[in-house]
Amino acid sequence: MQTFAIGVDLGGTNLRIAAVDDSGKLLEKLTLGTEVKRGRDHVIQEMCNAIEQLKAKYKASGELCGIGIGVPGFIDMETGRVMRSPNLADWTNFPVREVIEKRLSTPVILENDANVAAMGEKWLGAGRQVEHMAMYTLGTGVGGGLIFNGKLWHGMTGMAGELGHFNVFPDGHPCGCGSRGCLEQYASATAVVRMAREAIERKEASEELERLAPDPQQFTSRSIYNLAVQGDTSAKKIFETVGRALGIGIGGMVNALNLPMYVIGGGVASSWDAFAPTMFAEMKFRSSIYSLTSPEQKEFVRSTLITRALLGSDAGLYGAARLPMLEDFTQVEKSRTHA
Ligand SMILES: [Zn+2]
């Protein structure tokens, strides 16, 4: 081992930290009981302690090249600050990168959580063989990440890849972003539950689906999926809408970018067999580029692959650890001092 890095997944509820070497081998993974709701200073303290611990433990076998931190929300890449994060309100505008760098004397990269998941899948997961890919993370919301030439595409201000807010139904359900009918409103776990509730209100739900509703622990996208695979028509219909929304969203991306791979991860991705048939049908309808390049077509040597993510919730940890390995910090220093 030459070097290793530390990846941090700063979720809405938990803090996870992993030491990963430059060959992609996981050295150690810590899930800290740290409650994010106890506030920023507490979380930073716990995070720094754990990083120091890992740094000391593995220093004999390699050099720590940096720390990558995945954060839910908008990040200002220039200043290393969280611009907006619904789950981490007290982190807004706080100079996270600077504070941690000073404390640990190690370079820190702050990155959006969906972007680090995309990087993880690119490095060690579904995207290992491609240089360009888009990733959709279907969780409480829908996150997105774009990788071009093996690197994250940030756009002008670091806000690129918000694939969850790709518009799929222009007059559809209102979205937290202020728009209507965003992909997130049809393909997230939250959306699956909402659509089930709407079906019940419209009296279009089966008795079984209706029976789940009163108990929030039971009324989850997973249990609705279980009904769908058992053949429940009303549950199946919900996942057809998920598939349709994804097909429209990804079809648009295929038309715009003609990438070799689109990876779908997050909790709802495990309902693949319930939404994928509609998704593929919709993609063929919406994107003639997909029709021409889908794997069953033999016209082109290379196909457009739409595939499931492989790393589960560890994608973000691996991706966060990968970021400092890809960075030339001497160049970063220069650009920061000249800014
Ligand atoms: Zn939106």
Predicted confidence (pLDDT) at residue 221 exceeds the cutoff of 70: yes
Predicted confidence (pLDDT) at residue 236 exceeds the cutoff of 90: yes
What value does the mean pLDDT take over residues 36-47? 88
What value does the mean pLDDT take over residues 218-234? 97
Q: How confident is the model over 191-219, as pLDDT tens digits?
A: 999 999 999 999 999 999 999 999 999 99
How close is the Cα of 277 to the center of ligand 1, in Å?
25
How close is the Cα of 159 to the center of ligand 1, in Å?
14
What value does the mean pLDDT take over residues 152-156? 94
Predicted confidence (pLDDT) at residue 338 exceeds the cutoff of 60: no
How close is the Cα of 302 to the center of ligand 1, in Å?
33
How close is the Cα of 233 to the center of ligand 1, in Å?
28
Computed over every residue of the chain, the mean pLDDT equals 93
| Phi, psi dihedral angles at 314 (to 5 degrees) | -80, -10
pTM of the model: 0.93
Task: Determine the pLDDT at residue 336.
Answer: 63
Per-residue tokens: 285? 């309808």
Predicted confidence (pLDDT) at residue 112 exceeds the cutoff of 90: yes
| Phi, psi dihedral angles at 130 (to 5 degrees) | -115, 160
β-pair partners for 67: 6, 108
How close is the Cα of 106 to the center of ligand 1, in Å?
36
How close is the Cα of 103 to the center of ligand 1, in Å?
37
> Cβ distance 224 to 189 under 8 Å?
no
Task: Determine the pLDDT at residue 332.
Answer: 65
The C-alpha angle with vertex 135 and arms to 132 and 137, in degrees rounded to 5, equals 170
What value does the mean pLDDT take over residues 1-6? 86
Predicted confidence (pLDDT) at residue 257 exceeds the cutoff of 70: yes
Task: Determine the pLDDT at residue 97.
Answer: 93
Q: How confident is the model over 52-71, as pLDDT tens digits?
A: 999 999 988 789 999 999 99
How close is the Cα of 179 to the center of ligand 1, in Å?
5
β-pair partners for 146: 134
State the DSSP string of 132-199.
-EEEEEESSSEEEEEEETTEE--TTTS----GGG-BSSTTSSB-TTS-BSBTHHHHSHHHHHHHHHHH
Task: Determine the pLDDT at residue 337.
Answer: 59
Task: Determine the pLDDT at residue 90.
Answer: 86
Of residues 156 and 259, the one with the higher pLDDT is 259
Predicted confidence (pLDDT) at residue 121 exceeds the cutoff of 70: yes
Task: Determine the pLDDT at residue 52.
Answer: 94
- Distance, in Å, from the CA atom of 109 to the CA atom of 139, rounded to the nearest integer, reads 24
Task: Determine the pLDDT at residue 48.
Answer: 94
How close is the Cα of 164 to the center of ligand 1, in Å?
7
How close is the Cα of 332 to the center of ligand 1, in Å?
32
